[in-house]
């Protein structure tokens, strides 16, 4: 019977055993805290565990089950481990997450398991021996498989002929991933936590990042994850997901989330197919439909905008990496940065939004009609570990401390703790959250639990902020973040963007930081098809005078606990395509490096006395104070 | 996809064999004589571990897995192609037979580990008859109620006075609001209109203390949880200002019904049953062996 069940799953689904509802979807129920006007849920959609080869080689031993336990508020032990396998550091979030997705790299999902299992046929292969004995060398050599020219990437040699060993073992590991998600899901009506089945497709030609996270709505998933070694191009991934999931007639549903376009060396939004020809409408449709969201920010930097491109915007300097791909990165502070490695403006979302509108003019579909989220991309299985103070380092391309406790800054100085994904949904269930992702009613924060809500419409009154129900008025008179404005009701009408934000209240030990201001970023194409951007301060006060005590990191001065306004576009032209997204920024606070530099007693006035490993504390490129923020998904206007 | 299916099928076959394997073990004649070689200086724990492995290997070999396991087959074929590359094109079955003749079933460390892995799986396999019934899961849930407890929740209406909007008059406004609420006792569903708007999750739905803390700031949840049901109280202070609340419903923390946590209970019970069966079965096996422990000069190969 078990065998029949297993075989019946082939080609369509791989439902995990004991996964919950008979149909494999979210159990048919409403959570006790169901709100038709929707509520914000905070989570992390980008999490690596010991199943990801890079994390594993850096000493991450925590499993998907451990990662979910951490997300739900549990304490975990993290590397380094002593000789008896006891962790030397512990970690716990001060608040649990509402949802999380473990997204291990699909490409090597079997490699770790094979190489750690003495019974596997690959155990004694050169690759596995290297992984066990020389993890740093293995990291470079095996990752070379990912960095092969696009179209030529394939499974590592240790997988054997036809990659059989890895494909076989991958099925088992994938079952385990599904089971961990099933076990973590709260199926009671308390709906305290939602897990999703997911993985990462890790396209990485010549070290240019083209990665995507793949997230499934329910337990109906393909029999095996479709990896970069199976499909070398994103369009192949979407096609395969269509065949094996969305169009398989099994109840399977999936979407992809783009990330780290900032590290793609000009490729993420490049508009040419493998033969060099411009993409056509079918590609634009696939990208639009399959990839509704992009990470605007995570551990490896901010992808929103590069200063000065296309307009001056002082807040674009936030968490910028000074290179355009990890292969060209100088991951530790150096005196000089290779000029050829400078970030490309076109790799940032703000430029892509403009390009997307141009493609939409030509093709009728906007391939880059992205909604925004943020996440951590933790490689130590610590979803939602976004606190600046006490940041342990997220590993991955950063520092992991596999062999010894950190006697230096705990991560590569340019990296950061990453952010959170926020979804506006009726309840904390798989279906409700997945629907929110698909309709782009989502936003990202750089870590704080700022609540922000936007609506776009034509007739919102200026008094909407005083209305008893901002949300009811918002839905009734327009569309939420991620939506498209309707046709203007009259010739002189202009879009009105209603914005309400609320500071993160924080916790007893880490009080929240008050808000400074809210901004609307408008982008549009003029009559000649040229792209323009304008940034408007619409609420709060950019000059509220708030600062930070540089010796204690205590905030000084007041900001706003809440912000609310209805902003009308003063230069709207109904014939021009446009978008509007909102950025809400906090008053300044200390960056993670600043906390650690203070703890280490660094005095930059005495450079010779700065401890080794803390030189970056005095590097002017490392900001001492930051303005944490939230970015909402754009609201679109299409004539 | 076809390739993936074949592998899926294969895994299913091995898993099924593993489930039936323990039944086969129990049918064998007993006792069995077995010599266990241990290093001269091995302590009790080491001897126990090596004894366990020897017994499991013995059972695995007697079950015939060395001849049927696909991983072992591939391993031995790969061995032969490595030691005799000039014969790499020979039929895989021929190469396997050749490896068996050369004694690799006994000498190859990977074969040994694979057999141990499968034997361990069999020891811990849970037959359908021992998978927990609803009644058993209910009993388990009753016995471990604290582990599965659903948190306390509260439903309330509120009137909010914003510290931002009333910075100079907040305390005075709060006094006036307290008097107004005491006098008029407005219905909670409409009373929020008396105060300032709030963006967060609407309080009229059930909330846990933790959720209230996350939304309004630390300590707010406890203040609401301590409020009496059915009358306006306040002001309660939050990060955002002052709140008057009328609690409509207090749901105490409670053990869940089985249907609410069935998957978690089942997973926990199956893990426990597996651990217990593995211990019982191994002890049963051990009683049917006549063991002779021989200490050698060198450390045993593991």
Q: Encode pLDDT of A59-104 as tens digits.
A: 899 999 999 999 999 999 999 988 767 899 999 999 999 999 999 9
For chain B, which ranges sit under pLDDT 70?
1-30, 200-203, 297-302
Rounded Cα distance, B260 and B148, in Å: 10
Interchain CB distance below 8 Å, B215 and A505: yes
As given in the structure block, the two tokens for residue B12 are 């299913």
- Tell me, what's the pLDDT at A478? 97
Q: Is the pLDDT of residue A438 over 50?
A: yes
- Taking the CA of residue A450 and the nearest CA in chain B, the distance in Å comes to 10
Q: Is the pLDDT of residue A341 over 50?
A: yes
Cβ-Cβ contacts under 8 Å, B206 against chain A:
32-33
Tens digit of each residue's pLDDT (9 = 90 or more) over A254-273: 999 999 999 999 999 999 99
Rounded Cα distance, A324 and A313, in Å: 20
Lowest mean pLDDT among A160-174, A362-376, A425-439, B129-143: A160-174
CB-CB contact of A88 with A76 (8 Å): no
CB-CB contact of A629 with A447 (8 Å): no
Q: Is the pLDDT of residue A337 over 70?
A: no
Q: Is the pLDDT of residue A140 over 90?
A: no
What does the angle CA A340 – CA A343 – CA A347 come to, to the nearest 5 degrees?
Answer: 130
Q: Is the pLDDT of residue A127 over 90?
A: no
Maximum average pLDDT range among A134-143, A156-165, A319-328, A383-392? A383-392
Tell me if residue A408 falls in helix, strand or coil.
Answer: coil
DSSP H/E element including A89:
strand A87-91
- Range B215-220, long-range pairs (CB < 8 A, 24+ positions): B215/A505, B216/A505, B216/B240, B216/B243, B217/A505, B217/A506, B217/A512, B218/A505, B218/A506, B218/A507, B218/A508, B219/A508
Rounded Cα distance, A267 and A208, in Å: 7
- Taking the CA of residue B37 and the nearest CA in chain A, the distance in Å comes to 21
B89 and chain A in contact, CB less than 8 A = no
Lowest mean pLDDT among A130-134, A607-611, B7-11: B7-11
- For B:116-135, CB contacts with A below 8 A are 116-117
- Taking the CA of residue B32 and the nearest CA in chain A, the distance in Å comes to 26
If one compares A326 and B243, the residue with the highest pLDDT of the two is B243
- Taking the CA of residue A207 and the nearest CA in chain B, the distance in Å comes to 28
Please give the residue of chain A at the shortest CA–CA distance from B203.
Answer: A33
If one compares B9 and A532, the residue with the highest pLDDT of the two is A532
Looking only at the bridges linking them, the beta strands covering A293-298 and A371-374 are parallel
Tens digit of each residue's pLDDT (9 = 90 or more) over A273-293: 989 999 999 999 999 999 999
- Tell me, what's the pLDDT at A19? 32
To the nearest whole percent, how much of chain A has pLDDT over 70?
Answer: 94
B77: exposed, middle or buried (Cβ count in 10 Å: 0-12, 13-18, 19+): buried
Cβ-Cβ contacts under 8 Å, A244 against chain B:
1
- Tell me, what's the pLDDT at B182? 94
b (16+ CB within 10 A) / e for B134-166: eeebeebbeeeeeebebebbbbbbbbbbbbbbb
Lowest mean pLDDT among A201-205, A527-531, A622-626, B269-273: B269-273
Cis omega (within 30 of 0) on the bond before B31?
yes
Interchain CB distance below 8 Å, B8 and A171: yes
- Tell me, what's the pLDDT at B218? 93
B203: exposed, middle or buried (Cβ count in 10 Å: 0-12, 13-18, 19+): buried
b (16+ CB within 10 A) / e for A561-576: bbbbbbbebeebeeeb
Mean pLDDT of A397-420: 92
What does the angle CA A204 – CA A209 – CA A215 come to, to the nearest 5 degrees?
Answer: 90
- Tell me, what's the pLDDT at A14? 30
CB-CB contact of A67 with B240 (8 Å): no
- Tell me, what's the pLDDT at B251? 87
**Can you name the residues that pair with B251 across neighbouring β-strands?**
B153
DSSP H/E element including A619:
none
Interchain CB distance below 8 Å, A183 and B262: no
Mean pLDDT of A424-440: 96
Rounded Cα distance, A273 and A151, in Å: 11
Please give the residue of chain B at the shortest CA–CA distance from A41.
Answer: B201
Cis omega (within 30 of 0) on the bond before A80?
yes
- Tell me, what's the pLDDT at A17? 30
Tell me if residue B4 falls in helix, strand or coil.
Answer: helix
- Tell me, what's the pLDDT at A343? 92
- Tell me, what's the pLDDT at B199? 81
Query: A480 φ, ψ to 5°?
Result: -85, 180
* Nearest-CB residue to A451 (from B3, B4, B199): B199
B69 and chain A in contact, CB less than 8 A = no
| Cβ within 8 Å of residue B11, ≥6 positions away | A6, A168, A171, A172
Interchain CB distance below 8 Å, B8 and A9: yes
**B153-251: CATH architecture:** Roll (3.10)
Strand stretches in A377-460, DSSP E: 420-425, 442-445, 451-457
Interchain CB distance below 8 Å, A505 and B240: yes
- Tell me, what's the pLDDT at A2? 32
Comparing CA positions, the residue from A422, A102, A436 lying closest to residue A292 is: A436
- For B:143-182, CB contacts with A below 8 A are 150-151, 153, 162-164
- Tell me, what's the pLDDT at B125? 82
Tens digit of each residue's pLDDT (9 = 90 or more) over A555-576: 999 999 999 999 999 999 999 9
- Tell me, what's the pLDDT at B17? 47
- Tell me, what's the pLDDT at B203? 59
Please give the residue of chain A at the shortest CA–CA distance from B208.
Answer: A190
Tell me if residue A527 falls in helix, strand or coil.
Answer: coil
Q: Would you kindly state where each structural domain of chain B is located, as residue ranges? A: 2-134+264-296, 153-251
Size of interface A-B (CB pairs under 8 A): 174
- Tell me, what's the pLDDT at A584? 98
The three-state DSSP-derived secondary structure of A171-215 is: HHHHHHHHHHHHHHCCCCCCCCCEEEEEEEECCCHHHCCCCEEEE
- Note the helical H segments in chain B: 2-26, 44-62, 65-68, 70-83, 92-101, 104-107, 109-124, 134-143, 145-148, 170-184, 188-191, 209-216, 220-225, 258-287
A406: exposed, middle or buried (Cβ count in 10 Å: 0-12, 13-18, 19+): middle
DSSP H/E element including B156:
strand B153-162
To the nearest whole percent, how much of chain A has pLDDT over 90?
Answer: 71
b (16+ CB within 10 A) / e for B95-113: bbebbeeeebbeebebbbb
Tens digit of each residue's pLDDT (9 = 90 or more) over B245-299: 999 999 888 888 888 888 778 878 887 888 898 888 888 888 888 889 998 865 4
Q: Specify the DSSP class assigned to residue A513.
A: P
Q: Is the pLDDT of residue A41 over 90?
A: yes
- Tell me, what's the pLDDT at A1? 29
Cβ-Cβ contacts under 8 Å, A123 against chain B:
110, 113
CB-CB contact of B280 with B127 (8 Å): no
Tell me if residue A60 falls in helix, strand or coil.
Answer: coil
Choosing among A225, A428, A455, A561, which should be mutated to test the B contact, i.e. which has the most B CBs within 10 A? A561
Cβ-Cβ contacts under 8 Å, B265 against chain A:
none
- Tell me, what's the pLDDT at B19? 46
A428: exposed, middle or buried (Cβ count in 10 Å: 0-12, 13-18, 19+): buried
- Taking the CA of residue B48 and the nearest CA in chain A, the distance in Å comes to 20
Rounded Cα distance, A585 and A194, in Å: 28
Q: What is the mean pLDDT of chain A?
A: 90
Interchain CB distance below 8 Å, A171 and B7: yes
Choosing among B4, B150, B240, which should be mutated to test the A contact, i.e. which has the most A CBs within 10 A? B4
Tens digit of each residue's pLDDT (9 = 90 or more) over A13-37: 333 333 333 333 443 457 888 888 9
Lowest mean pLDDT among A62-76, A319-333, A351-365, B124-138: A319-333
Interchain CB distance below 8 Å, A95 and B214: yes
């Amino acid at each position: 019977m078990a065998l029949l069940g297993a075989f019946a799953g082939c080609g369509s689904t791989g439902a995990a055993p004991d996964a919950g509802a008979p149909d494999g979807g979210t159990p048919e129920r409403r959570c006790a805290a169901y709100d038709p006007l929707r509520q914000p849920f905070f989570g992390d959609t980008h999490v690596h565990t010991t199943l990801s080869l890079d994390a594993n080689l850096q000493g991450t031993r925590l499993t998907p089950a451990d990662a979910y336990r951490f997300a739900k508020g549990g304490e975990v032990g993290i590397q380094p481990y002593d000789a008896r396998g006891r962790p030397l550091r512990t970690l716990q979030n001060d608040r649990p997450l509402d949802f999380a997705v473990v997204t291990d790299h699909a490409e090597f999902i079997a490699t770790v398991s094979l190489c750690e299992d003495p019974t596997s046929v690959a155990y004694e292969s050169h690759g596995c021996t290297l992984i066990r004995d020389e993890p740093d060398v293995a990291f470079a050599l095996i990752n070379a498989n990912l960095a092969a020219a696009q179209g030529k990437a394939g499974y590592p040699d240790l997988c054997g002929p036809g990659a059989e060993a890895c494909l076989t073992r991958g099925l088992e590991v994938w079952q385990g991933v599904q089971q961990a998600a099933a076990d973590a899901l709260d199926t009671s009506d308390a709906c305290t936590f939602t897990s999703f089945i997911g993985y990462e497709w890790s396209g990485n030609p010549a070290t240019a990042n083209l990665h995507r996270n793949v997230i499934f709505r329910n337990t109906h998933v393909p029999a095996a994850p479709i990896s970069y070694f199976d499909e070398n191009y994103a369009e192949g991934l979407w096609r395969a997901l269509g065949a094996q999931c969305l169009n398989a007639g099994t109840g399977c549903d999936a979407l992809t989330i783009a990330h780290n376009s900032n590290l793609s060396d000009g490729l993420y939004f490049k508009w040419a197919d493998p033969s060099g020809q411009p993409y056509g409408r079918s590609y634009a449709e696939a990208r639009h439909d399959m990839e509704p969201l992009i990470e605007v920010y995570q551990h490896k930097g901010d992808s929103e905008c590069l200063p000065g491109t296309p307009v001056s915007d002082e807040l674009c300097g936030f968490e910028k990496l000074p290179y355009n791909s990890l292969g060209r990165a100088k991951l530790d502070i150096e005196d000089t940065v290779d000029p050829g490695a400078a970030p490309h403006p076109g790799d940032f979302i703000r430029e892509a939004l403009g390009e997307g509108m141009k493609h939409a003019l030509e093709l009728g579909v906007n391939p880059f009609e992205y909604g925004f989220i943020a996440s951590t991309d933790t490689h130590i299985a610590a979803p939602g570990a976004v606190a600046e103070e006490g940041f342990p380092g997220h590993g991955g391309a950063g520092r992991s401390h596999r062999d010894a406790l950190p006697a230096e800054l705990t991560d590569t100085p340019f990296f950061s703790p990453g952010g959170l994904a926020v979804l506006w949904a009726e309840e904390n269930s798989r279906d409700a959250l997945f629907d929110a992702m698909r309709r782009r009613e989502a936003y990202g924060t750089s870590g704080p639990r700022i609540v922000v809500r936007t609506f776009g419409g034509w007739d919102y009154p200026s008094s909407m902020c005083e209305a008893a129900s901002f949300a009811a008025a918002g839905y009734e008179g327009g569309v939420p973040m991620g939506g498209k404005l309707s046709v203007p009701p009259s010739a002189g009408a202009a879009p009105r963007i209603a914005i309400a934000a609320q500071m993160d209240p924080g916790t007893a030990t880490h009080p929240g930081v008050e808000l400074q201001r809210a901004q609307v970023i408008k982008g549009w194409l003029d009559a000649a098809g040229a792209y323009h951007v304008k940034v408007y301060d619409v609420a709060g006060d950019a000059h509220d005078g708030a600062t930070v005590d540089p010796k204690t990191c205590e905030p000084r001065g007041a900001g706003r606990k809440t912000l609310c306004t209805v902003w009308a576009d003063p230069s709207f032209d109904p014939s021009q395509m446009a978008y509007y997204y909102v950025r809400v920024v906090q008053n300044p606070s200390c960056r993670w490096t600043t906390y650690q530099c203070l703890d280490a007693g660094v005095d930059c006035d005495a450079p010779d006395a700065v401890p080794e490993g803390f030189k970056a504390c005095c590097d002017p490129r490392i900001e001492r104070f930051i303005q944490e923020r939230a970015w909402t998904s754009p609201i679109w206007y299409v004539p | 996809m076809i390739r993936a299916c074949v592998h899926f099928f294969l895994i299913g076959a091995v898993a099924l064999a593993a489930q039936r394997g323990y039944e086969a073990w129990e049918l064998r004649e007993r006792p069995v004589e077995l010599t266990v070689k241990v290093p001269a200086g091995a302590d009790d724990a080491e001897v126990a571990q090596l004894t366990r492995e020897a017994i499991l290997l013995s059972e695995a070999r007697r079950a015939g897995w060395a001849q049927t396991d696909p991983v072992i087959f591939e391993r031995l074929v790969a061995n032969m192609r490595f030691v005799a590359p000039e014969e790499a094109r020979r039929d895989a079955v021929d190469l396997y037979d050749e490896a068996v003749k050369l004694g690799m079933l006994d000498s190859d460390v990977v074969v040994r580990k694979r057999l141990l892995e499968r034997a361990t799986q069999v020891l811990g396999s849970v037959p359908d008859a021992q998978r927990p019934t609803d009644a058993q899961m209910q009993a388990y849930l009753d016995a471990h109620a604290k582990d599965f407890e659903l948190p306390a929740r509260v439903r309330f209406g509120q009137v909010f006075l914003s510290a931002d909007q009333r910075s100079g008059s907040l305390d005075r406004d709060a006094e006036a609001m307290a008097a107004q609420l005491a006098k008029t006792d407005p219905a909670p569903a409409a009373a929020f209109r008396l105060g300032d708007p709030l963006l967060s999750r609407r309080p009229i739905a059930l909330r846990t203390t933790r959720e209230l803390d996350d939304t309004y700031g630390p300590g707010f949840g406890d203040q609401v949880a301590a409020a009496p049901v059915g009358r306006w109280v306040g002001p309660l202070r939050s990060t955002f200002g002052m709140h008057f609340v009328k609690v409509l419903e207090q749901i105490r923390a409670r053990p869940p019904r089985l249907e609410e946590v069935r998957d978690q209970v089942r997973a926990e019970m199956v893990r426990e049953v597996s651990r217990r069966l593995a211990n019982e079965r191994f002890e049963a096996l051990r009683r049917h062996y006549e063991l002779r422990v021989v200490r050698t000069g060198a450390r045993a190969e593991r």
